[in-house]
Amino acid sequence: MIRVADYLANYLSDIGVKNVFMLSGTGSVHLDDAFAFQKDMNHICARHEAAAVYMAEASAKLNGTIGVVIATTGPGGTNAISGIVEAWVDSTPVLVISGQVNLDQVSEGVRSFGVQGFNIIENVENITKYSVQITEPESIKLHLEKAIHEASSGRPGPVWLDIPFDVQASMITPENLEGYSPEKSSTHIDHDLDNIKSIISDAQKPLVIFGQGIRNSNTINEFNHFLDLYKTPSISSRMSLDILPYEHPYYFGLGGMRGHKAPAYLLKQADLLIILGSSFTHAYAGDEYDFYNKNAQTIMVNIDSSEMNKPGLNIDYPVELDLNNFFKVMNQESDSYSIDRTDWLKNCQSLHLDNPTVDESLAKNPINSYFFVECLNNVTNNEHIFVNDAGSSNYISSQALKLKEGQREITSGAFYSMGLALPLAIGAAVTQPSSQVIAITGDGSIELNIQELRTLSQNNLDVKLFIINNGGYASIRKSQDEIVGGGRYTDDEEVLNFENVAEAFELQFEILDDFETLESSLERILSKKGPVLIEVVCDSRQEIIEPFNL
C-alpha cells in the first residue's frame, strides 16, 4: 500500500513526466514530498504559482507531453489560475494538482473554509477540459487517467485535480484501483473531401494558413507532403512560427497584424484560403475579417467547430475534422490532380524577397531591435530555443526571426501576456537542458515575473535573457498616443538598473549599446555557460512594422 500522493508521482513518472513545477505549501505537503523525492523526476520550485504553470506550459509545448504543476490550497490555487487561462487559450496540456483542506472541512457555498480552504474546482471548470475534487482515495486512478486523456486528446488544454489533505495521505493498493477507458473515437469522415480536393486543385492562387493544430496533431510530415502535392504557398499563424523553417520553399512568412509584409499582400491576392489548425482570429484577419480578398473562397479545417462559427467569420467550406484524418484523404495522390502553380509561387517568392524585415538602413545607433534580432539569426544554430515576451519584444521576434530547421520558438500566442518570457524560458531549459535558450523580453515585461530570476540563477540554467531597454512600455505608449492623445502616459517611464538587478539575483550581466560590435558581442555571450542577463539599449522611438497599414 502507498499514499495517494506517491501513486500520483509514480504514475506520472511511469508515463514519461520528467519535471514537475511547484511552490511548496502546507496544504500540499504530501504532494510536495512525493514529487520532490520521486526517482527519475526533477522538481523545480518557482516563486509564484502562475509562473510555475507557465514553466509547465513551456515544457508541454516543447516536448508534446503533459506539463505538471503542484499548488497548495487557497491562494496557491488561485495564483495558478492566470497560468491555467494561458494554457486554455493556447491549447496546452497542463495538469494542476492542488492541495486542499481536510475533506470534512470542505463546505459548498461558503467563501472560505478550514485554513485557507477555497472551492477551486467550481472556479476553474470553465477554463479546463476536466476538473474534479478527489473525494474517494480509490478513485484516484480513474480521475488521473481521465484528466490526462482529456488534456491531450482532441483540442488539447489544461486539467485540474484538487486533492484534500487527508486524501493525499490516504493509503491505497494500486492493484485494486479502477482505471479509465475512453470511448473509441469515430474514424468516419463525414465530409466530402473529394470536393475539397477539386476546389484546391482548381484554384489559381490558393494560400494555406496553418496554425499550431499542425503540431498538436503531430502531422508536420503530412503537412509538408500536402504542400508539395498541391504546390501551395503557405503562411503561418503566431503559434506556428517554428513548424516550417524560414527557408522552406512553400513558406512565405507570418501573417497577421504583427506579421511579415509579404503575407499581407498575399492575403489580398489569394483566391482561396485553406485554413488548417488555426483559429484565424481578428489579429490575423482584421477587425471585420476584412484583411483578405473578400472574393476568395475559404476552407477551414479545425477540430473545434466553435472556431468556424465566430460572428462575422463566413467560412464557405467548414470541415470539423482532425488533421490526421484530413491529410490521410487529401494526400492520396491521383493522376487527375496535375497541378502547375509556377507563376503563383514565383509571385509569392518575389514579394517575400522584395519585402525584408531588416535591411542595411537599420544598422545604426541607437540599436534598432529588428537589427538586434537579425544579428541573433546570424549567430544561432539549429539547436537553439527562442522564447519571447509581450509587446514590442514579441513583435520584433515574430517579424525578424528566421527560424532554422530544428529551432523552436515559444511564446504567449493568444494573449501576448506580459512577463511570460522568463518562466517560459525556465520551463524550456529544464525540459531540454542540452539546448541553449534565448529569451527576449522588455524592460517593462520583466518586472511582472522578476522574482523568477532567482529560480533561473539557483538552477544555473543555460538561458540568455535579453532585456530590450527602449525606455519603458513602448508598445503601450504607441497605443496611448494614437487612441487618447499624445504625451499622456499612465505607465512608469523609469526603467530599472538592470546591472543592480543582475547582481541582486546572482546573475552574470552584460550590456549591449553599439550596433558595430553587436554581432561579435552576441557570439561571445552565447559561448558562455549558464544564465546571463543582457541589457540591449535600443531606440525608444523605433516604430513597429504594421502590415495591416501597408
**CA atoms within 13 Å, Cβ hemisphere of 289:** 16
Residue 277 DSSP symbol? S
pLDDT of residue 492: 58
Neighbours of 84 (CB within 10 A): 28
Pairing of strands 317-320, 297-302: parallel
Please count the helices (runs of H) and the strands (runs of E) in the chain.
21, 20
Q: What is the DSSP string of 468-482?
A: EESSS-HHHHHHHHH
Cα dihedral: 16, 211, 279, 445 (round 10):
70
- pLDDT tens digits, one per residue of 486-536: 666 666 568 999 999 999 999 999 999 999 999 999 999 999 999 999 999
The rounded Cα 469 to chain-centroid distance in angstroms is 24
CA distance 233 to 235: 7
pLDDT of residue 486: 66
Whether cis (ω within 30° of 0) applies to the bond prior to 158 is no
pLDDT of residue 186: 65
Q: Residue 357: left if φ>0, alpha if ψ -120 to 50, beta else—which one?
A: alpha
Is the pTM of the predicted complex or chain greater than 0.75?
A: yes
**Cell digits of residue 205:** 492562387
| Residue 406 contacts residue 507 (beta carbons within 8 Å) | no
**Cell digits of residue 139:** 478513485
Pairing of strands 408-410, 159-164: unpaired
| Residue 240 contacts residue 403 (beta carbons within 8 Å) | no
Matching residue, cell 513583435:
395
Which residues touch 506 (CB under 8 Å, ≥6 apart)? Answer: 454, 457
**H helix or E strand, kind and range, residue 86:** helix 75-89
CA distance 240 to 71: 30
Per run of 10 residues, the mean pLDDT along the chain (length 550 residues) is 97 97 96 95 97 98 96 97 97 98 94 95 97 98 98 96 98 97 76 92 97 97 96 96 97 95 97 97 92 95 95 95 95 75 97 95 96 98 96 94 97 93 98 98 96 98 97 62 68 84 98 98 97 96 88
Between the alpha carbon of residue 450 and those of residues 85, 241, 441, 467, the distances in Å are: 20, 27, 11, 12
**Cell digits of residue 512:** 549591449
Neighbours of 405 (CB within 10 A): 11
pLDDT of residue 225: 96
| Residue 50 contacts residue 82 (beta carbons within 8 Å) | yes
CA distance 492 to 62: 35
CA 503-509-514 angle, to 5 degrees, is 140
Q: Minimal CA–CA distance to 517: which of 360, 356, 367?
A: 367
Helix (H, G, I), strand (E, B) or coil at 251: strand
CA distance 272 to 262: 17
